Chains A and B, each alone.
Chain A
Amino acid sequence: MTWHTKTLTELSNAIAARETTSRELAEHFIARVEAFDGELNTFVTRTFDAALAAADAADARRAAGESLGPLDGLPFAHKDIFCTKGVKTTCGSKMLDNFISPYDATVVEKLQAAGMVCLGKTNMDEFAMGSSNETSYYGDVKNPWNTSKVPGGSSGGSASAVGARLVPATTGTDTGGSIRQPAAFCGITGIKPTYGRVSRYGMIAFASSLDQAGVFATTAEDAALMLQAMSGFDERDSTSIERPVDDLVTGLGESLAGKTIGLPKQFFADGLEPEVKDAVDAAINEYKNLGAEVKEIDLPNIGLSVPVYYVVAPAEASANLSRFDGVRYGHRCDNPEDLTDLYKRTRAEGFGDEVKRRIMMGTYALSSGYYDAYYIKAQKIRRLIRDDFLKAFEEVDLIAGPTTPGLPFGLGEQTDDPVTMYLNDIFTIGVNLAGLPGMSIPVGEASGLPIGLQLVGKHFGEAELLNAAHQYQQVTDWHKAIPAAFQ
């Protein structure tokens, strides 16, 4: 059977109609991982025995008439940034190569409670710092559309695995574009909800004022189903928002007639590759056919997103990653002379280059004499960027534009200069600084590589955002394309 060509929703319906079982689906997708992952390197840890046991339990519940709901028994994988009790949780780092989490992240608990069957943990840029999945201690992940290209990052393993249909859905996290950019590069649907909508408890911290968990799937409908189960207030995350979760699924199907989509003029300026611009323009035309109105908007400070981010994110990272000291968990150097030597050599050995670079950048930005010039200044401009978005949303319901400035680039092509790599996230970073929900959906291809459209919603506008993506997917087929090598 070709179960891997089906969506989560279709698989859920097939289980309910007794056309298949959770066991059969788990075995099918396990066989896919075994057949193809040697080439793609999307999994860091495989938990197949536990998955089969969970699948059998789901089948037993269904036989007893006690199904947990639409996600019960469906296979997926977690980004290796989420703590999983009794299972190695590495965050893509040598520092945590030996770390067995003593507890589950809230997201892990919630998807378990929904009955989902986890096949393993996916590869990622080290501590989620990267845009190409080339900073992982566990090696590069390959793009399923062309294995000489990067899958994007930091959630590269999660995106590539869904792109190749090794699993129908995965979790991810997005601090500056780490769900949307790899979703665009791998030709799939990815959503990062509003900051604070999904609990960060047990999600290894990178930049706490920006980090947010989300979903990769092949359709907006599937993403809605899974995000619904992941969202909600959690008292164990001090930045979790105390607000009921909207119904993300039943609102799918609303007409876009009368809706206004804003196009930031800064997102269509020089530097955008022509193939990307053409595909995005065509997608916007499709939205006009769906009844939406389109108008140009101005985000005057958005051009400063990258500089602001590369102060704020490293500053927060330098504080968060100070916990890796070789004392309580993780890597520890051999034969330390004294406490300072223990810290310094443990961190020199345990962290990779990009992580060290960002910790040092953040340390500098927070150091005495530079704090006001860098960190405080960046936070002030962050307000201007956020306020530009809020002002734009007084006139429009959604914002659309390209997810990335170009097509997926080659492995090793951008590793020489960090700043060149940072500019990959030029369209996505502002959304994190403003705390808004954002998505990427596939809307075209060039040279056999996929192109993503970014959609941005109002704070807590996930339902409207997912519906806009869903409406597009009702009248187009880009989301159904599967790379030839993985059909």
Chain B
Amino acid sequence: MSLDIDAVKNIAHLARIDVSEKDLETYTKDLSNILDMVDQMNAVDVTGVEPLSNALDATQRLRADVVTETNKREALQANAPATEDGVFLVPRVIE
């Protein structure tokens, strides 16, 4: 299946990745090639087959609803690009 440039522009927006006009062409070609390869899946009849999300058929484990983590705010924020008074800073969201 082939994608056009507008479709790839939309995908890049959904993925929140800035892609230059020049690179859009390359991504369009590459993604279309990958989708052509993926389209081999169309040859298979999967009627009645359940999707498999865990190869061991494991299910999510539950644990008791108790506190297991202590507060490590300072250690965890040490890697943040911008913080102030213990909060993460981002560009203004609400005017």
Contact = CB atoms under 8 A, between A and B. Distances in A.
B49 interface: yes
A374 B38 contact: yes
B88 A379 contact: no
A356 B30 CA distance: 11
A440 to B, nearest CB: 20
B37 interface: yes
B53 to A, nearest CB: 6
Interface in A336-374: 336-345, 347-348, 351, 356-357, 359-361, 363-364, 367, 374
B37 A433 contact: no
A459 B11 CA distance: 37
Contacts of B88: 327-328
Contact of B46 (A303, A380, A433): A380
A360 B72 contact: no
B66 interface: no
Contact of A326 (B37, B41, B49, B81): B81
B17 interface: yes
B15 A357 contact: no
Main secondary structure of the interface of B (DSSP, over half): loop
B2 interface: no
A100 B56 contact: no
Contact of A367 (B11, B19, B30, B79): B11
B55 A386 contact: yes
B8 A383 contact: no
Contacts of B30: 357, 418
Contact of B56 (A98, A195, A308, A348): A195
A45 interface: no
B58 interface: yes
A360 B8 contact: yes
Contact of B17 (A235, A359, A459): A359
Given A327-B88, A357-B27, A384-B44, A344 B18 contact: yes
A92 B28 CA distance: 25
Interface residues of B, number: 50
Given A100-B79, A364-B11, A419-B34, A384 B49 contact: yes
B46 A381 contact: yes
Contact of A380 (B3, B49, B63, B90): B49
Contacts of B46: 377, 380-381, 384
A102 interface: yes
Given A337-B91, A360-B12, A384-B44, A102 B75 contact: yes
A360 B11 contact: yes
Given A235-B63, A342-B91, A435-B55, 18 more contacts: A102-B76, A195-B56, A328-B79, A339-B91, A339-B93, A342-B90, A344-B16, A347-B18, A359-B17, A360-B31, A363-B15, A367-B14, A377-B46, A378-B41, A379-B53, A382-B51, A383-B52, A418-B33
20 contacts: A102-B76, A209-B55, A235-B61, A235-B63, A303-B40, A318-B15, A322-B16, A328-B88, A329-B80, A357-B27, A359-B15, A361-B34, A363-B14, A367-B11, A379-B52, A380-B52, A381-B41, A382-B52, A382-B55, A384-B44
The list of the 6 closest CB pairs from A to B, nearest first, reads: A435-B55, A379-B51, A332-B81, A383-B52, A348-B18, A329-B79
